Structure 1
Amino acid sequence: IGMVVGTKQGLPLVYVTVGTTQFDSLINALLTQEVLKLIFNQGYRRMRMQIGRGTEPTLPTDAPLAIEYYRFKDSLAADMQEASLLISHAGAGSIMEGLRCKANVLVVVNDKLMHNHQQELAHELARRDHLVAATPDALLHALMEVRDKHGSMTPFPESDPEAFPRFLASSLGL
């Protein structure tokens, strides 16, 4: 783990992932006093951030919750499963993995990217009420929306590993 401020194991966790990329505007938005205070007031006591190739953040020493970060891990599944709130970049793999977790999902779209197809996926899943989508500038509002929708978002359907073999078999007349 890169850096840890405070330790409060076992308490409600916000998990943040930016995947293999760099998304400093999301990390910096999360570390503002206003956002940290809101997260704390929503009942979270820990925030773990996977920062990818981003700039190492300066963690506020007076943060109201324990904050830790790291660059990469072989698998993010355990961190995602532990989270009560998952804040993810808009990569399709991270979104789909996040939707399989018990956590509320907030997808933050990097609005600085050109030809941003990830934005389309995030907004369509938000339209279907599976998650909340936002940009770094709208993070505070999005966190309030996640709180307001807690428990009422539509669960993402379980994947059916037999769907393709069934389709293939029926297509081939087997």
Structure 2
Amino acid sequence: MPAILKVLLAAGWLYTVATWIWGCVTLNVVLVHVGWSYDYTKKGAALISNVEWSLCVFMLVATYLSYIVIVLLLIAKKKVMTKKSHRQETSIFLQASFILLYMTVIVVTWHHAGSWLAETKTVDAVVHGIWILYSYCNPLLLLFLNRTFRMKVLHIIGKRKKVVGSTAMFTGTRTPRRTL
């Protein structure tokens, strides 16, 4: 493992542990309606909130730039790609783009909903609902963008023919009889 990667992993681990210990010592979070929020009357809560926000935004940007680099590398090797693999890579990029956009909306909403909107139970419910719906993004996008996966799911629920690999085969429910 490269030294820079070890340093980054160690820094991330130290930040996580320090944040957890600092939160336990200062009790800088408070239960608000149905979720946790920073208690800005406590020492260090504003700093940790800003660091969390900065790291979230940085990681989202770094992730999307990685996706773009991967797509550019695939386009550079387009000569060896088949039409099917190009379509699959496009689907994966669309899925990654949607998930990244959705996560960006979640992070921005989570951190700034209180300053944009009145803090009511309805606003909290909507923000938490957005978080809950996020867990369904990957499976639903996989279902919509991946034909093989979609056919396997439809076969399981009994709506389509059986799929083996990427080849579809019709299957019957009865086995043929042997006659002597």
How would you bin the TM-score normalised by the shorter chain?
under 0.3
Higher relative contact order at CA 8 Å, sep ≥6: structure 1 or structure 2? 1
Structure whose residues are more often strand by fraction: 1
* TM-score w.r.t. length of structure 1: 0.26
Which has the larger Rg?
2
Point out the structure with the larger helix share: 2
